[in-house]
Amino acid sequence: MFDKEKLEGILRGKERWEKETVVKSLERLPEKGMFLTSSDIPVNRLYTPADVASLDYFRDLG
């Protein structure tokens, strides 16, 4: 459903953000514990289109 090159760019940008921005922030303010949904599913720090790259709208949501 998504352009492969754009998804790769998003993943590279996320990695860069984690290394450059998140690390600096965590040095000042430590991260809290793991966040969970009410169903005890872990919540990621950031979601991007890469997290739903295999989503087929009609098959999965239609």
Ordered by start, the domain boundaries in the chain are 4-61
Q: The whole model's pTM is what?
A: 0.74
- The pLDDT tens digits of the residues spanning 18-50 come to 999 999 999 999 988 899 999 999 999 999 999
8 and 53 Cβ atoms separated by less than 8 Å = no
**Would you state the structure tokens that stand for residue 46, as one six-digit string?**
């950031």
* 2, pLDDT greater than 90: no
> Which token pair is 41?
């599913």
Residue 62's pLDDT is 80
